[in-house]
Amino acid sequence: MKFDTPATANVIDKMTVVGQPVDRIDGKAKTTGTAPYAYERHDVAPNAAYGYILGAAIAKGRIEQIDLAQAQRSPGVLAIVTYKTAGKLGKAQAHTAKLLAGPEVQHFDQAVAVVVAETFEQARAGAKLIKVSYAKAKGGYDLAAAKAGAIKPQENEFSGHADTAVGDFSGAFAHAPVKLDATYTTPDQCHAMMEPHATTAAWTGDKLTLWTSNQMIAWAVRDMSQTLLIPKENIHVMSPYVGGGFGSKLWVRSDALMAALGARAARRPVKVALARPQVFNNTTHRPATIQRIRIGADRAGKILAIGHESWSGDLAGGGPETAANQTRLLYAGANRMTAHRLATLDLPEGNAMRAPGEAPGLMALEIAMDEMAEKLRMDPVEFRILNDTQFDPEVGPKRPFSHRDLIGCLRTGAERFGWSRRVPTPGQVRDGRWLVGMGMAAAFRGNVPMKSAARVGVDGKGVVTVATDMTDIGTGSYTVIAQTAAEMMGVPVDKVIVLLGDSRFPVSAGSGGQWGGNSATAGVYAACVKLREAIAGKLGFDPDKVVFEDGKVRSGRRSVSLAKAVGAAGLSAEDVIEFGDLDKTYAQATFGGHFAEVGVDADTGEIRVRKMSGAFAAGRILNPKSARSQVIGAMTMGVGAALMEEAVIDQRFGYFVNHDMAEYQVPVHADIPHQDVFFLDEADAKSSPMKAKGVGELGICGVAAAVANAVYNACGVRIREYPLTLDKVLKGMASV
Amino acid sequence: MKAFTYERAGSPAEAAAAVIRTPGAKFIAGGTNLLDLMKLQIETPRHLIDVNRLGLDKIDETPEGGLRIGALVRNTDLAADRRVRRDYAVLSRALLAGASGQLRNKATTAGNLLQRTRCPYFYDTTKPCNKRQPGAGCSAIDGFNRNLAILGASEQCIATHPSDMAVAMRVLDAQVETVRADGATRAIPIADFHRLPGATPQIETTLAQGELITAVTLPRPLGGVHAYRKVRDRASYAFALISVAAVLPPGGGGRLAFGGLAHKPWRVEAAEGRIGQGARATAEAVLAGARTTPQNAFKTTLVERTLGAVFAEARV
């Protein structure tokens, strides 16, 4: 199905199942521990041996020698694979760094060897006995130091343009009566999802089966094929359950490659899970940024000039954190510029983490907006509303937004939160030991439609089965797909079986960039349309008038049960939703407003979030329960970004030193207050036949700035370097 | 984790004898710290002697009017004990400020005293650490040391002791009771129990090889406000940036001990005479000789400001 004109009225509009707060259909399996995760596939690989990865102890240089003698003699060790014994390997185009080091080492903890043994403990003990000697090389790890040499990055399908410019930014900024020129920094961050990267691998002849934890099945097949230099047809990837990804599992990591190599060497299935410290340095992270923002406005608050420059770093051949992207679309202003610059750093590979671009970009931009509002003596909500735009401000009115209700989000959020109680002057509200403040920020995240296919069948008992390689990374894909099929085929959700995460199924959008929910259900919609036509055709019903309801197929006065309609052999159909130019003709995005109240301890500078509200406009909400769950998780992650998350670089060793969950802190329950989440009731006919958009990443966008602005309002300390730890508050308090 | 053998001891003296008999042996109680360290091969005992069933899990009143806390009393039980809550509230509060519910259920009184530092370089076997590998050098002094020691550190080590409980024990002048293989017992004042790193940061306590903690005794209760203020980067489940254990009697004076500042719970008795002069004067005396890095210099400000908060709260 080609989707190149806005959707008209369709079956989904009934919203008898879609749009309802249906419980997760995979909830029981997950809560009873029966959902099979990649490392626990005793059912399919009961004799799997254990692999343990030894990572590089240096950040840059060469392996001079590897002495395996002691490790090989270690109890239980079955095989050891290094670059010397792995056979010829390629590097997948999607990977910046190789998954297996040798002889060159590109970053700290890059895999050097996998030790396969009968037990996990034996494999780990064996790995510790490998003696590797390195020739260290000098590397660069400091973004601030490397900033001067940063270059204009190459553009790819996800990055957008490196630079944009409209009008006369410098002239307009120079002459603006009210202006701000400020620099903000965001640190490196780690995904720190609950389930570490894990894979069980098995070979049958030259055919490889991987049970892994991955967000994008077709990419996994592609990248394993490019790495192992074997045909894609010989690789079968399954990832039915994923314990969180946040972008860290968009591409296969060393667990998949080393499990495959280990299994080939040991001639039996091998499973590998990354140990928690390896998640920090062996895989990818969200790169740190330095962002300079300039905003000039007239005295009434109209933005005349807006400029956003962002510097980030990555390994040679990597890409930038596109932190200026949202500034191209979020606010009006005739004169504008954005620019990304990329420095070479020898840290582990930088890559996508929940809302790449917007998450760190809004951390900076939305503080800048707060600072401007203060200079203008305007309410921060009103300042944003005054500068709303209904079209792409770089292109003009000929490229309107498909649907944009940022104002509705800000007004609704402010109302629900009680924004009117805010005292604009900082440091005025006290509650016992706490200085109390309120802050807000806009949320913005692009909506990306992605081609997505599915197969839908009905069997002789009227049970509907959907198969697609879509993944559920905790988001609720299983459930929204079941709801879509149930709505389309006129059956209850419990008559739908959803099969996901298998490379033998039709290729879906996968889970990334908050495109999965809308795109994958649209693919299911397309397959259902085809199946409905086939069933109508079989019955001789007019396909335009046929109704699927209550397990029956009706046309006029004729009614046949779905089971009977398809017959004992059943019927199935496969289709793919392909998106035309609607996301080019129209700017497509999701919007929100975040509101936070914080307390800052007047003595110690400790910050605690006391209250959060968010209102969001993201098209049709397919399942308000799972959508809310996505958003409260994202808001929690945003609090982490605001207050505590920082992967600290040791410049001498070139690695993230706080590489465990004790030292890389994320919020605990006690850090998170009640979160009020509200979705505006809308449907965006230009996004897909589902009229939905993404929510999973929108929820994190802007949260940290809302918290930072609340901290300023509470105590008068403006912190422009994340995270807002109490040492920075104390430093500011000393000068307030 | 390296392969190890295991035995369960029948009595405290037997356990002490077993640990001397077997090279590379260690006691294991709750295991909340030791097992983590073994998985990372920071600790590599070849033999574990399980002391969990030695019956050292009672809290008894002493003839002197204090409490004798068995070495194996779990942190949860100690914090919840009616007598502790009533007479030694600072201890109960310190315990509850530490770790998480699940860990406190398992962690023991003696084990808590013997916790090892959370210095990130101690935890990374690819990096030099004098505590892990004497003579290797200290990665922390010129590295990431935001939460490391500002007092009593040495050129060899700036690690801190992570315990909250020990800070309260210090303010209460607890005594650590031990037994040796030959059955000899002694009581070590908590002030002398933990050592400063000096040139031997790998030696953290004054326990002799094979010496087993059997109990911690608390002297008669101290009247006054018992406060434990722990300052950290998140609301729960984080080690202290600094912490203050205070017992402040209504008539003035009092006692103070600090966590997060040094290789041991930090107490400067001389500073306690200045409590009446306020937080600044007291902090100055506590922080005498402090050596900070650009990352952890905030701790000096934080000590003064937190003391101010504790004093203000006590007066209310």
Residue A629 predicted with pLDDT over 80: yes
Predicted pLDDT of residue A156: 79
* Domains A44-138+192-285 and A399-446+588-736 belong to one CATH topology: yes
Predicted pLDDT of residue A205: 97
Instruction: Say if CB A338 and CB A153 are below 8 A apart.
Output: no
Predicted pLDDT of residue A159: 74
Higher-pLDDT residue of A442 and B2 is A442
Residues making up chain B, counted from first to last? 316
Q: Pick from A604, A643, A658: which is nearest to B120 by CB? A: A658
Predicted pLDDT of residue A157: 73
- In this structure, which CATH number among 3.30.365.10, 3.20.20.10, 3.40.50.11540, 3.30.70.60 belongs to the domain A399-446+588-736? 3.30.365.10
Predicted pLDDT of residue A734: 82
Catalytic residue list contains A697: yes
CB of B123 within 8 Å of any CB in chain A? yes
Q: What is the mean pLDDT of residues A369-377?
A: 98
- What is the distance between the alpha carbons of residues A614 and A618, in angstroms, rounded to a whole number? 12
Instruction: Give me the CATH topology for the region A2-35+449-583.
Output: Aldehyde Oxidoreductase; domain 4 (3.30.365)
* B231 with A650: Cβ contact below 8 A: no
Q: What is the mean pLDDT of residues A82-86?
A: 98
Instruction: Say if CB A297 and CB A176 are below 8 A apart.
Output: yes
Give backbone dihedrals phi and psi of B4, rounded to 5 degrees, phi first.
Answer: -145, 160
Predicted pLDDT of residue B2: 83
Predicted pLDDT of residue A471: 98
CB of B127 within 8 Å of any CB in chain A? yes
Confidence of residue A463 (pLDDT cuts 50, 70, 90): very high
* B234 with A644: Cβ contact below 8 A: yes
The residue extents of the domains of chain A are 2-35+449-583, 44-138+192-285, 399-446+588-736
Summarised one tens digit per residue, pLDDT across range B48-103 is 999 999 999 999 999 999 999 999 999 999 999 999 999 999 999 999 999 999 99
* B120 with A606: Cβ contact below 8 A: no
Residue A535 predicted with pLDDT over 70: yes
CB of A670 within 8 Å of any CB in chain B? yes
Residue in this structure with the two tokens 């503080």, named with its chain if needed: A367
Nearest CA in chain B to A56: B126
A42-46 own/partner pairs: CB under 8 Å, 24+ apart: A44/A200, A44/A202, A44/A211, A45/A200, A45/A202, A45/A211, A45/A269, A45/A271
Residues making up chain A, counted from first to last? 736
CA distance A657 to chain B (A): 7
Cα distances (angstroms) measured from residue A622 to each of A184, A216, A476, B17? 36, 21, 10, 67
Instruction: Say if CB A488 and CB A577 are below 8 A apart.
Output: no
- What is the distance between the alpha carbons of residues A513 and A535, in angstroms, rounded to a whole number? 35
Summarised one tens digit per residue, pLDDT across range B193-218 is 999 999 999 999 999 999 999 999 99
Instruction: Say if CB B280 and CB B305 are below 8 A apart.
Output: no
CA distance B302 to chain A (A): 6
Summarised one tens digit per residue, pLDDT across range A248-287 is 999 999 999 999 999 999 999 999 999 999 999 999 999 9
Q: What SS3 state is found at A412?
A: helix
Chain A and chain B share a number of CB contacts under 8 A equal to: 91
Tell me which of A321, A366, A597, A697 is the catalytic residue. A697
Confidence of residue B1 (pLDDT cuts 50, 70, 90): confident
Nearest CA in chain B to A646: B233
Strand runs labelled E in A131-197: 131-136, 163-166, 178-186
Q: Pick from B143, B232, B305: which is nearest to A657 by CB? A: B143
Q: What is the mean pLDDT of residues A163-176?
A: 98
CA distance B286 to chain A (A): 17
pLDDT, averaged across chain A = 97
CB of A668 within 8 Å of any CB in chain B? yes
Does ipTM exceed 0.90? yes
Q: What is the mean pLDDT of residues B182-186?
A: 95
Predicted pLDDT of residue B315: 82
Predicted pLDDT of residue B316: 61
Predicted pLDDT of residue A736: 59
In chain B, what residues touch A727 (CB-CB under 8 Å)?
A: 146, 298, 302
Instruction: Say if CB A337 and CB A371 are below 8 A apart.
Output: no
Q: Is the domain defined by A44-138+192-285 classed in CATH 3.30.365.10?
A: yes
Angle (CA) B141-B142-B147 rounded to 5° is 55
Angle (CA) B4-B5-B8 rounded to 5° is 135
- What is the distance between the alpha carbons of residues B309 and B316, in angstroms, rounded to a whole number? 11
CB of B234 within 8 Å of any CB in chain A? yes
Predicted pLDDT of residue B82: 98
Q: What is the mean pLDDT of residues A195-222?
A: 98
Give backbone dihedrals phi and psi of A183, rounded to 5 degrees, phi first.
Answer: -120, 135
In percent, the amount of chain B with pLDDT more than 90 equals 97
Confidence of residue A155 (pLDDT cuts 50, 70, 90): confident
CA distance A240 to chain B (A): 30
Summarised one tens digit per residue, pLDDT across range B89-145 is 999 999 999 999 999 999 999 999 999 999 999 999 999 999 999 999 999 999 999
CB of B82 within 8 Å of any CB in chain A? no
Burial class (CB in 10 A: 0-12, 13-18, 19+), A540: exposed
Angle (CA) A303-A359-A618 rounded to 5° is 80
Best of B102, B141, B233 to substitute, by most chain A Cβ atoms within 10 angstroms, is B233
Summarised one tens digit per residue, pLDDT across range A13-50 is 999 999 999 999 999 999 999 999 999 999 999 999 99
